[in-house]
A and B are shown apart, each in its own frame.
Chain A
Amino acid sequence: MFHSMRSKMILAMLVVTGCAVVLVTAMFYQKSAGMIEEDYVENLYGRLRQMGDALDESLKEIYFLTVQASCDEKILAGTEAYLSEGEEQDLTELAKMLRDYSGRHSEAGCFYLVIPEKQMIVTSLEYPIYHKEISEEKLDEIEKTGTASLTPALIKDPLREQDHILVFVSPVEADNGGICAYVMSCLKERTLYYNYLDNLEGGGTSRAALLDENGRIVSAKRLEHVGMYYPAEQEQGDAGTQKDREGQKSGDGRDMIFVQYRADFSGYSFLLEREKNEVLADLREIRSYLAVILLAVLGCVAVLMVVITKAMYQPLKRLTETMGQVSRGGLECRVELTTKDEIGLLSGEFNDMLDHIEDLIGRLLQEEMLKKDAELEALQYQITPHFMYNTLNSIKYAALLKGEDEIGGLLEDFIELLQASINKKGKFVTVAEEIHFLKNYMNLQRMRYEEEIVVDYQIQQEAYACFLPRLMLQPLVENAILHGLDLRGKRNRIVIGGDVEEGRLKLWVQDYGRGMSQEQIARLLQETHKKEKGLSGIGVANVKERLRLYYGDAGHVTCVSSDAGTKICMYLPAYREQNQYALYGFDMQKEKEQGYDQNGDCG
């Protein structure tokens, strides 16, 4: 499935993009959740502090009124009067004074004046104005509360047993220092709940509570929790550890957020716990939204990658397809070049390589064809060589027997020439052998034309030992005789030369005849069709082509002509071993030449 470069690229990009997007999203979500939670807690803490401070102010004010009432001389006097005289009128007056204190603060539910000696309570209420026969336990509880009255105490209302009330108690001291009564301000627990906690809870899973300094619940939604230690499920516990004055504590096994604020004056704590899920509900919506965005981004990336990689991959695909066709034999196929990038460069190089291979194969084929032609011709000539040699030898010996030494000599020349031109053995001969063939040929030509043809051999001694393909000079001499010499005009001299310079063999044939026009020269060097006339049917163009095939650029033919005659030069490497050549196109040539230069040998 992932075998193509394109699919790998798409997969890689999807993985990278997916990871990046998931990572960014996860980090964003984490950060957002943290910030939301923190801001929420901060906000909640602010509310709790506001509420705690407001409650503190109220409690402070009620405490103040309580102490003020306990120091009120009129209350003291009224109490003392009642204690001494027992007049009900005094109680009515006391109730009125208490009502006055009660009216000074909206949250102070009522004021009681507890007179232990009479086991009675005078109230600021409309009814009852006073209540007698208060139990000893109740009075003890009130007296105990009075010893630490700066913090309100939670007790059951001595007049209404079902009600929880918060009370400040302050003793009314007589001038002699004795306590004759207690002023008790009462704040109903339900008043606290509805004025403060109900607002905080605000529905949902939130639970709010007001705790005293010891972690005991002073007010909560469920009345049965009042008086218990927090958490509400426990009668007693290590609620003290929750005293986080800074007001923030989040997280536990149940994923709840706790916020707590403890007020300075009363020491009471507002506590609110809320499920984290509720707080982060909005964020969960964002999470779904982010998931959709993530999928959409990945989808877009996938589509984009398909389009982009298609454009990028097209040239590569064309290259691989062309390679496949070439490997199946379609050498003529070429890659279409559409880009200039690395793939374009590679395709261009591949095309060049194919061109090169095709050219080489063409040349090899051509050489093979030439060889085939030569072999066929040789086969043709092989039909009668023995018969011809035998016959010609018989004629030669008959002529010799009859004293016709000249004819016998000519016949011998002809036989040797025939052997040289037909013989398959050894494609290469030495310059000396080639000159020998030439001499035979010239003897025959002189006889044929009955004219004196002067041949001057100017062969450097060093050149004699060099090898060259056989019958290379003969076509040049033949060309000179047929087209160059003017025998009647006595311009009948031919110079055949040869020398070796810098490892190069130069052979030339110069006639001093009529000369050739440029067209003639061009035709001479280019016409490759088989000659009808002449010894071998091989033309100068054939010589030139053979040189190129054998030696490449190192073998070539030049022709210079004027009215004074024509000079055809042939250049080839000066090899001293047979077959020491390379086919044109193989770069081994130069290496071989270097090999000769260095070692005098060739592999």
Chain B
Amino acid sequence: MGILKYAGRSLRTVTAIMLGLCVISGCARRERAESEEEPYTIGVVTKSRDSEYWMSVCSGMEKAAGDYRVSVRIISPDSESNDKMQKKMIHDLIQQNVDALAISPISSYDAPYLEEAEEEGIRVVAYDTKIMADGIPYIGIDNRKAGEELAADMAGRLSNCGKVGIVAGDLRQTAHSERVEGILSYIEKNTDIEIGFVESGYANLLISDAEISRIFSEHPDIDGIFATSGVTALGIRQYLGESPVLVMTVDAQQDALTAVASGKLAALAAQSGYEIGYETVRFIAENRENDDGILEDRILDADILTKDNIDEWQ
């Protein structure tokens, strides 16, 4: 009986230890916390879908969405000129009851969707290009300042004299119009440089050889050209070949950077699409609780890159 009693006691002790260990091992199992947070969806409309710049914008947005635990629904019209399609897409996003809208408007001055968004209580934020309406915060570079800085660089290279021209995108978009304003303002105030021409309306950013040919036949003595978009600048540079005409633009896509490094583009106001995308989502996520407050613009730096400093920047 003694041994049985002893065995019984031992068995209880062993069982208690086993149970204890099982509980510990059970507790040690990896538990995955499920997110109880209400999902916050940001509807994003870009201007276009195929250029490297817009792809980097989307990449930055998706990264920030992961970092700030929000979801983004990104849609893009087929080209920077298809204002109708962009508006339709914005309308669709508003109908989906997203929590916020980030728009890079094809038309900065015509934004009928703002009213609809306000009715639905959806916050609208402009990125890359301003929406010219009150209370719409903007996230992007200071385009006027970028234009001035490019003009200063050009003036330095041309010793404040000579003749330059401007090939701009759709001036309904503030991104382009402000760059042009910045360039013109600086040159007129600070230099003796003559403005040969201001061509605009290259909404899709591409410019045909015929157009370039026409421009240069009309202005054969041009010393420098400002293009408000990288794609346009690269097209012009390709047309010019080894010509000493200086070409400057605003962009940060890889082929433009390569062109700066090789000296084909004289200067570039570097606008990082990734940074703009990331900062836009971050801006919205950080202000998601601030429903009624008026938000300040978030201006990002745009460095002027030349052959001399591009290695450091990269």
A contact set with B: CB distance below 8 Å:
2, 8, 11, 15, 19, 22-23, 26-27, 30-31, 34, 38, 60, 63-64, 67-68, 70-71, 147-151, 170, 244-246, 248-249, 264-265
Answer whether A64 and B25 are a contact pair too, CB < 8 Å, given A8-B3, A150-B95, A248-B34. no
Of B28, B30, B71, B88, the most chain A CB neighbours within 10 A belong to: B88
Q: A residues within 8 A CB of B11?
A: 15
* A71, B96: Cβ atoms closer than 8 Å: no
Of B73-81, B137-145, B267-275, the one with at least 4 CB within 8 A of chain A: B73-81
In the complex, whether B198 has a CB less than 8 A from a CB of chain A is no
Residues of B within 8 A of A265 (CB): 73-75
- In the bound assembly, the distance between CA atoms of A244 and B78 in angstroms comes to 33
Q: Are A34 and B78 in contact (CB under 8 A)?
A: no
Q: Which residue of A lies closest to B82 (CB)?
A: A71
Which A residues are in CB contact (< 8 Å) with B96? 148, 150-151
* Chain B residues numbered 44-97 whose CB sits less than 8 Å from any CB in chain A: 49, 71-78, 82, 84-85, 88-89, 92-93, 95-96
Nearest 9 Cβ contacts at the A-B interface: A150-B92, A71-B85, A34-B29, A148-B95, A2-B3, A264-B71, A150-B96, A19-B14, A27-B25
Count chain B residues whose beta carbon lies closer than 8 angstroms to a beta carbon of A.
Answer: 37
B133 at the interface (CB under 8 A from A): no
Say which residue of A27, A63, A249 sits within 8 Å of B22 (CB atoms). Answer: A27
* Interchain CA distance A383-B147 in the complex, whole Å: 160
Q: Which residues of A contact B25 (CB under 8 A)?
A: 27, 30-31
> Do A15 and B29 have beta carbons less than 8 Å apart?
no
On chain A, the residues within 8 Å of B111 by CB distance are none
- B17 CB contacts on chain A under 8 angstroms: 19, 23
B75 contacts A149, C-beta separation under 8 Å: no
Residues of chain B within 8 A of A245, CB atoms compared: 35, 39
| Known A60-B75, A264-B73; contact A38-B88, beta-carbon cutoff 8 A | no
Is the CB–CB distance between B85 and A150 below 8 Å? no
Name 24 A/B residue pairs within 8 A (Cβ), A-sorted: A2-B3, A15-B11, A15-B14, A27-B22, A30-B25, A31-B28, A31-B29, A34-B30, A38-B30, A64-B49, A64-B78, A67-B77, A67-B88, A70-B88, A71-B82, A148-B96, A150-B92, A150-B93, A150-B95, A245-B39, A246-B32, A248-B32, A264-B41, A265-B74
A150 to B41, CA, bound (A): 14
- Chain A residues within an 8 Å CB radius of B89: 67
Cβ–Cβ contact B92 & A149, under 8 A: yes
B71 contact set on A, CB distance < 8 A: 264
Q: Let me know if B93 and A68 touch, CB within 8 A.
A: no
Bound: A30/B22 CA distance, A: 9
Q: How far is B11's CA from A60's CA once the two chains are assembled, in angstroms?
A: 65
**Is B18 among interface residues, defined by CB-CB distance under 8 A?**
yes
Is B293 interfacial (CB-CB < 8 Å)?
Answer: no
Q: Which of B26, B88, B92 contacts A71 (CB 8 A)?
A: B88
Q: Is B299 an interface residue (CB 8 A)?
A: no
B21 contacts A by Cβ under 8 Å: yes
| Chain B residues with CB below 8 A from A150, complex form | 73, 75, 92-93, 95-96
Apart from A71-B88, A264-B73, what are 17 other A-B pairs with CB-CB below 8 Å? A8-B3, A19-B17, A23-B17, A27-B22, A30-B22, A30-B26, A30-B29, A31-B29, A67-B77, A67-B85, A67-B89, A71-B82, A148-B95, A148-B96, A248-B34, A264-B41, A264-B72
Q: Which of B18, B34, B75, B77 touches A19 (beta carbons < 8 Å)?
A: B18
Contact yes or no, B22 A26, CB < 8 A: yes
Closest to B25 in A: A27
Q: Separation in Å of the B190 CB from the closest CB of chain A?
A: 44
Q: For the complex, what is the distance from the CA of A152 to the CA of B314, rounded to whole Å?
A: 43
Chain A minimum-CB-distance residue to B88: A67
Q: Which residues of A contact B30 (CB under 8 A)?
A: 34, 38
Inter-chain CA distance A38–B78, complex, in Å, is 42
User: What's the nearest-Cβ distance from chain A to residue B42, in Å?
Assistant: 10
The residues of A that contact B74 with a CB separation of less than 8 Å are 265
| CB <8 Å contact, B21 and A15 | no
The docked-state distance in angstroms from the alpha carbon of A265 to that of B44 is 11
Q: Which residues of B contact A264 (CB under 8 A)?
A: 41, 71-73
| Whole-angstrom distance between the Cβ of B295 and the nearest chain A Cβ | 24
Known: A31-B25, A150-B73, A265-B73. A68 touches B34 (CB 8 A): no
Residue B159, interface by CB 8 Å: no
- Whether, in the assembled complex, B7 has its beta carbon less than 8 Å from a beta carbon of chain A, the answer is yes
Chain A residues with CB below 8 A from B28, complex form: 31
> Once the chains bind, are A27 and B35 in contact (CB under 8 Å)?
no
Complex-state Cα separation, A34 to B39, whole angstroms = 29
Task: Determine the distance from Cα of A148 to Cα of B17 in the docked complex, in whole angstroms.
Answer: 61
- Counting CB contacts under 8 A, is B262 at the interface? no
The answer to whether B76 and A64 have CB atoms under 8 Å apart is: yes
User: A30-B26, A63-B75 known; A147 and B85 CB under 8 Å?
Assistant: no
Residue of A nearest to B24 (CB): A27
